[in-house]
């Protein structure tokens, strides 16, 4: 059995290869494409049924979009409100400008707890700041408790989806990982047996490790509460047994009022897993004496987020509630899976979020990792117009390219700049058509089709033929017909 995840996976956007290149091994991997396609089909069909039964779905989407945009437009005051209310309830709020600061804050808090081990509820934000390897290097072993995260941690794999991170792994691969890492050589691939193995492994961690880390689905400004939604109950265990809890949350996760969760939770479960309600929705406010963690910290992470607020068209990216409906609907993600995106945030939302978190210094191929089909926007529960943001980011990438010398070596850049000049007048456009016809006729076979082209055209003809250009353009036909009529 080969390793579950090809070793080529690199989810650090600063060093990951460009999307077209990173996608290649995924496209060639039948197991991966089958696993991803199957998993997505299951989620998609469940989602479609539940959305169809909700007669006020569009109203809910509008409400959620308005709430989220309102938050972003008033983010500072809602964060301060959250801080005040969380602190009043016995929590401590820490502010981290970037990943490094967040990692150090968390490490310091763990050291205050004398923790050499910590249990974790699934949090993609911790993957964003590469927390686990940092803690490991600093002498703290982090144990994931979400089933998918356990699979990835034990299998030394990387997440390929934000809701179901091990979506690309099937159960025979899970069996192999568990058998190898848990020393269960007779383990079957029956889901019940796999679940039992995970349960046994987890029970020990829950009972012996008194410190936990979580992410947050929502922060409620009005009450200072934190909410985590999950399916397995591992989160609930992490929230009840440990003595100390550290929550890491992006600053955009705040909602104004407790009541707003009514809208958000209806949308999130249906969009994410195709359930009317997720099995475990946890909400906690500061510290409750004698119940749950007695020391509670929230680390609010910026890490590029506040810089996104300045752009009127792009800031909608931060409305995201991480449901992953966009990646489940995406025909590109369907073929490549998540690893090709070179980020813990894959799919359409990743294609717009990652380059912005990198402040456009990295991940510049991601805005182009979309055919602009619009399926993501159609399903987004908070109405993020992802195609619009993709186009905005493409314009920024092009503006960066305009300042580089290498643009003169990029046939796409040159071609489009020249095409623009040609389209400015009808006669230059018609001249270009004439040259195009002559040029392409050299490659046109007797059957009237082009089977192979050089340079950029070869990217087309590697899998498709192209019909040779017709002898008469439409405008020529029209002109000839006019002449005839006169």
Residues found near other proteins in the complex (CB under 8 A): 19-20, 23-24, 27, 33, 313, 331-332, 334-336, 340, 367-375, 377-378, 388, 391, 393-399, 412, 416-417, 419-420, 422-426, 429, 433, 436, 449, 451, 456, 459-460, 462-467, 469-470, 472-479
Q: Which is nearer to other proteins, 2 or 463 (CB)?
A: 463
Shortest distance, position 318 Cβ to other proteins, whole Å: 20
CA distance 255 to 297: 19
Question: Closest distance between other proteins and the C-beta of residue 104, in Å?
Answer: 37
In whole angstroms, the minimum distance from the beta carbon of 483 to other proteins comes to 12
Which pair of structure tokens corresponds to residue 304? 């590029």
| DSSP output for 145-157 | -SHHHHHHHHHT-
The encoded tokens of residue 299 equal 């680390």
CB of 169 to other proteins, least distance (A): 20
Q: Which is nearer to other proteins, 130 or 335 (CB)?
A: 335
CB of 131 to other proteins, least distance (A): 31
Coil, strand or helix: which one is 269?
helix
Find the shortest distance in angstroms from Cβ 102 to other proteins.
32
Distance in angstroms (rounded) separating the CA atoms of residues 481 and 217 = 65
Task: Give yes or no for a contact between 140 and 115, defined as CB atoms under 8 angstroms apart.
Answer: yes
- Judged by CB, which is closer to other proteins: 37, or 133? 37
**Rounded least distance, CB 467 to other proteins, Å:** 7
Under DSSP, is residue 246 helix (H, G, I), strand (E, B) or coil?
strand
When the beta carbons of 233 and 436 are compared against other proteins, the nearer one is: 436
Q: Which is nearer to other proteins, 82 or 341 (CB)?
A: 341
Nearer to other proteins, 114 or 420 (CB): 420
H/E element, 86:
helix 75-88
Say if CB 306 and CB 98 are below 8 A apart.
no
Write the CA distances from 438 to 432, 455, 464, integer angstroms. Answer: 10, 17, 21
SS3 letters across 19-76: HHHHHHHHHCCHHHHHHHHHHHHHHHHHHHHHHHCCCCHHHHHHHHHHHHHHHHHCHH
Instruction: In angstroms, give the least distance from the CB of 252 to other proteins.
Output: 24
CB 411 to other proteins: min, Å: 9
What gap in Å lies between CA 253 and CA 79, rounded to an integer? 9
CA separation for the pair 226, 134 (Å, rounded): 25
How far apart CA 335 and CA 326 sit, in angstroms, is: 14
Cβ proximity to other proteins: between 3 and 467 the closer is 467
Given the complex with other proteins, which of 40 and 264 has the nearer CB atom? 40
What is the rounded distance in angstroms from the CA atom of residue 230 to the CA atom of residue 365?
32
> Which is closer to other proteins, CB of 27 or CB of 88?
27
Whole-angstrom distance, CA of residue 39 vs CA of residue 34 = 8
Q: Which one, 275 or 401, has the nearer CB to other proteins?
A: 401
Cβ proximity to other proteins: between 19 and 218 the closer is 19
Looking at beta carbons only, is 235 or 387 nearer to other proteins?
Answer: 387
Exposure b/e, 106-125, CB count within 10 A at least 16 = b = bbebbeebebeebbbbbbbb
Within 10 Å of residue 402's Cβ, how many Cβ atoms? 10
**Distance separating alpha carbons of residues 72 and 57, to the nearest angstrom:** 23
Rounded to whole angstroms, what are the CA distances from 390 to 1, 252, 317, 385, 470?
A: 39, 20, 10, 9, 34
């Amino acid at each position: 059995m080969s390793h579950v995840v090809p070793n080529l996976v690199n989810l650090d956007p600063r060093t990951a290869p460009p999307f077209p290149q990173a996608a290649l091994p995924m496209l060639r991997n039948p197991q991966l494409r089958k696993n991803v396609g199957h998993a997505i089909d299951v989620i998609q069909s469940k989602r479609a049924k539940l959305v169809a039964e909700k007669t006020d779905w569009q109203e809910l989407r509008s409400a959620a979009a308005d709430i989220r945009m309102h938050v972003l437009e008033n983010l500072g005051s809602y964060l301060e409100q959250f801080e005040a209310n969380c602190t009043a309830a016995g929590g401590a709020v820490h502010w981290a400008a970037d990943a490094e600061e967040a990692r150090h804050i968390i490490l310091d808090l763990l050291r205050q707890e004398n923790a050499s081990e910590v249990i974790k509820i699934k949090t993609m934000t911790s993957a964003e700041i590469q927390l686990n390897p940092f803690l490991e290097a600093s002498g703290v072993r982090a144990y994931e408790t979400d089933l998918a995260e356990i699979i990835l941690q034990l299998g030394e794999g990387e997440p390929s989806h934000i809701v179901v991170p091990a979506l690309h792994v099937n159960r025979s691969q899970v069996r192999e990982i568990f058998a190898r890492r848990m020393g269960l050589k007779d383990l079957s691939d029956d889901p019940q047996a796999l679940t039992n193995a995970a349960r046994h492994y987890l029970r020990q961690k829950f009972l012996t490790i008194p410190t936990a880390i979580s992410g947050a689905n929502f922060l409620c400004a009005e009450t200072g509460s934190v909410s985590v939604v999950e399916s397995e109950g591992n989160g609930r265990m992490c929230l009840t047994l440990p003595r100390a809890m550290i929550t890491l949350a992006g600053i955009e996760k705040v909602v104004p009022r407790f009541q707003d969760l009514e809208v958000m939770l209806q949308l999130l479960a249906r969009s994410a897993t195709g359930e009317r309600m997720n099995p475990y929705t946890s909400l906690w406010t500061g510290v409750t004496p004698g119940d749950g963690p007695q020391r509670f910290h929230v680390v609010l992470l910026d890490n590029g987020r506040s810089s996104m607020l300045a752009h009127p068209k792009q800031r909608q990216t931060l409305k995201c509630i991480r449901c992953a409906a966009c990646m489940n609907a995406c025909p590109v993600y369907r073929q490549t899976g998540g690893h090709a995106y070179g980020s813990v945030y894959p799919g359409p939302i990743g294609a717009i979020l990652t380059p912005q978190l990198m402040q456009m210094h990295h991940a510049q191929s991601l805005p182009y990792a979309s055919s602009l089909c619009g399926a993501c926007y159609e399903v987004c529960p908070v109405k993020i117009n992802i195609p619009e943001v993709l186009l905005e980011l493409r314009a920024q990438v092009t503006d960066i390219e305009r300042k580089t010398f290498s643009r003169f070596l990029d046939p796409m850049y040159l071609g489009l700049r020249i095409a623009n000049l040609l389209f400015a007048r009808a006669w230059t456009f018609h001249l270009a058509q004439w040259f195009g016809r002559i040029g392409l006729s050299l490659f046109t076979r007797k059957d009237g089709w082009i089977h192979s082209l050089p340079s950029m055209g070869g990217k087309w003809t590697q899998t498709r033929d192209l019909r040779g250009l017709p002898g008469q353009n439409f405008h020529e036909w029209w002109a000839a017909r006019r002449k005839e009529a006169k």
